[in-house]
Structure 1
Amino acid sequence: MIQSEDPDGHRAILAPIQLTDKPHFDALFAALAQPISDYSFANTFIWGAPLKLYWARLHRHTCVFANGTGDLTLLMPPLPEPGAADADLRDCIRDCFDIMDAYNAKLGHRHASRIEYVSDELLEHISAAGGLNLTVAPFAGDYIYDMNKMINLDGGALKSKRHARGKFMRENPDHHAEPFDDAHIPACKALLNQWRDHGDAAHLGEINEEQTGSDVLRQRDTLACCAALDQWHALGLTGMSLFVGDQLIGFTLGEAISPTQASIVIEKTDHRYDGSAQFIFSEFCRRYWSTYPECNVGDDWGIPSLRFTKSSYRPTRLLSKHTVTLVQPAQVFVPAPVIPATNHAA
């Protein structure tokens, strides 16, 4: 059982996210009417180590904290559990900010306390609860595509993608795609390291809107991808691998996050095979997600080159995300939370 306080009733105890927590999180995410790509257990679990994620239950809400950048934040808004009322949400948010402020104040970063990845739906819930003095800022949103267009790549706007896919198929007549299998994992990890090294060299010095180097973000992504590869089956992910002959040159993993939307969690290809990215994306959508009207490929991390790539597929809309901060009337001392040093990959 996860406790939010230690025996003396003062210090919050935050626990790492484990595979055994999946049923609890699945039920909470399933209750959301308009999920974003971040609102799934698989996505939360695989980022556990890179972002140093911990969770606790406070006032009938499940709260996921992130400590990956040194400060302590809420990765997402508190998720309501059955029976949660507006008063519970208000108390939960206040207590979460007390926990974050106590930790961040020790580092001189009390201003860093915030709730990230807030969807429109959960922002409305927070606003409706009332009694909180909040500031809201825009965050990079999820790119949403029409699934049929991603499968067919038809129309003038997607002409270059269609041609790239065709070029790959012509130049590699021995290409084939297979359902993802554990036997593919070593080759996938080798390709993943190659992808990281090539990206670091090709985008040397690139930073995102928060002044974080894209090399730092790629290293975190590499760790998250390894967790997904190791636990893909337990996480309920669907995957596909792309081969040319007997050489693996790409892999992708995804999941359904609503009855109408599939999320592409990971996609990596060998840059030396022109058109392989366009082919694997389109083929994955065709084979596994054709019954879902929409395809969600997540946000762009605030990286200009990634924004260009995702925009080039002509999204039908962006799912808004926000960052929320609480304006505290006065500083109240709360002992800092106890964050255990625990292996997230359990």
Structure 2
Amino acid sequence: MFGPVIRTPLTLRDRERIEQAIAQTPLLSSSPLTALAFAPHLMWRRVLEYSWAEVQGWLCVFAKSADGLFMVLPPLGPLNPPVSSGHHSWERTYITVLSHIWTFMETHNQGTPVTRIENIPEELVPVFADAGFRLKPKDAEYVYCTRALIELKGNRYKAQRAACNRFIRSYTAEYRSYRQEDREACLRLCEHWIRQKHHALNHVSDCQEAMLARMLLHDARGAHAEVLTHHDALGLTGRVLSLGGTIVAYTFGFPRTPEVFCVLLEVADRTIAGAAQYLFREFCREHGQYLFTNTMDDSGLASLASSKRAYHPIHLVQNYLATRS
């Protein structure tokens, strides 16, 4: 019998709780999906209200927007798995938990269509389908061969290689670890970069794409501030690129699995030709022990999709959300 669902605000102190629960969930621990981690959620807490609840030994992570409550991850667990439990037993329990959590969200949202479960990897799709959910694809994530991103060999990487070489010829740069004292300089760079992006959007003919991009830029400001302030607590590796002591680019990432490193965000002064390409290559080089690099999705932006495709992904990681209608 399920008791009431009691939500607790999600904070930086919950990182270990969330990461352990993900690792204990069958079919999730080896997925390269970026959302199956702590940092990609908590960094957005200035935009969404995050919380978690333990439901019969399963961990559920919620987000609340102005529209209502939804789950940002499928249920995680079981947190205390039985000594002997087969896959079919796990699936039956999982479906029962899904039904209970869905009823809770629908009641909370008073029947509004906001109720959903996001960031469902392909491996869990059959379980949700068996439970009667409709699965809708979200934007896929781009995964690359890390060695290819480091070497930039051949004609297919001609443009990126030329950009890196031009940067090296034109500047004497320092690539180094992000330090907490870099925060204010990086925040200023972020604001500068946002203004540059807004200016570029004035020349985009697709009005809907420009509107979406502006909305994303508005929300990005707070997310970048969270990362720049709490990168250690979030478990992130940060690097900066500086010219003459002035930071012109920064990036952060984290290992998703022993084989996959995720690049969470990257900012570069758009007037410094080749800075973005050089920073990306060096970040990949530093993490060359990972076979694959995940640069996340394209947020539905054609321009960003074009940039990501130009690096020739070897795999698109599918991502789904579940609804009842």
User: Please, what is the CA RMSD of the aligned residues?
Assistant: 2.0
**2:152–2:160 contact (8 Å) kept in structure 1:** yes
> Where does residue 53 of structure 1 map in the other structure?
50
Q: Which range is displaced more, 292-301 or 111-120?
A: 111-120
Q: Secondary structure at the match of 2:81?
A: coil
2:114 corresponds to which residue? 112
Map of 1:343 onto structure 2: none
Asked if the contact 1:143–1:317 (Cα under 8 Å) also holds between the matched residues in 2, the reply is yes
Runs of 4+ with >4 A deviation: none
Q: How many angstroms does 1:93 deviate by?
A: 1.5
Name 2:305's counterpart in structure 1: 307
Distance 2:248 2:256 in 1: 27
Deviation at 1:206, TM superposition (A): 4.9
Which residue does the alignment assign to 1:91? 96
Q: Secondary structure at the match of 1:177?
A: strand
Q: Name the CA distance, whole Å, in 2 between partners of 1:122 and 1:230.
A: 34
Tell me the residue number matched to 2:30: 33
Is structure 2 residue 293 aligned with structure 1 residue 295? Answer: yes
Q: CA deviation at 1:35?
A: 3.6
Separation (CA, whole Å) in 1 of partners of 2:114 and 2:233: 34
- 1:212-291 to 2 correspondence within 5 Å? 213-287=212-286, 289-291=287-289
1:22 aligns with 2:21: no
What corresponds to 1:184 in structure 2?
182
| Distance in 1 between residues matched to 2:77 and 2:324, nearest whole Å | 19
2:324 maps to what in 1? Answer: 326
CA distance in 2, matches of 1:68, 1:303: 22
Aligned residue pairs total: 309
Larger helix fraction of residues:
2
Residues 91-240 of structure 1: matches in 2 within 5 Å? Answer: 91-105=96-110, 110-127=112-129, 130=130, 132-172=131-171, 174-204=172-202, 206-207=207-208, 213-240=212-239
User: Hey, what's the Cα distance between the residues in 2 that align with 1:16 and 1:274?
Assistant: 43
Go from structure 1 to structure 2 and tell me whether the alpha carbon gap of 1:200 and 1:95 turns closer, same or farther (over 3 Å shift).
farther
TM-fit CA distance, 1:236: 1.9
Task: Describe the SS at the equivalent of 1:53.
Answer: strand
| Distance in 1 separating the partners of 2:199 and 2:53 | 39
Asked whether the equivalents of residues 65 and 75 of structure 1 are also in contact (C-alpha less than 8 Å), the reply is yes
Kindly state the Cα deviation for residue 187 of structure 1 after the two structures are TM-superposed: 0.5
User: CA shift at 1:270, angstroms?
Assistant: 0.5
Cα deviation digits, residues 229-281 of structure 1 (max 9, x gap): 11111222111110111110001111111010000111111011011110000
Instruction: Name structure 1 gaps, 5 residues minimum.
Output: 328-346
CA contact (8 A) 2:32 2:317 kept: no
What TM-score, normalized to structure 1?
Answer: 0.84
Per the TM alignment, residue 69 of structure 1 is displaced from its structure 2 partner at its CA by 5.1
Calculate percent identity across the aligned residue pairs. Answer: 26
Asked if the contact 1:63–1:77 (Cα under 8 Å) also holds between the matched residues in 2, the reply is: yes
CA drift of 1:83 comes to: 2.1
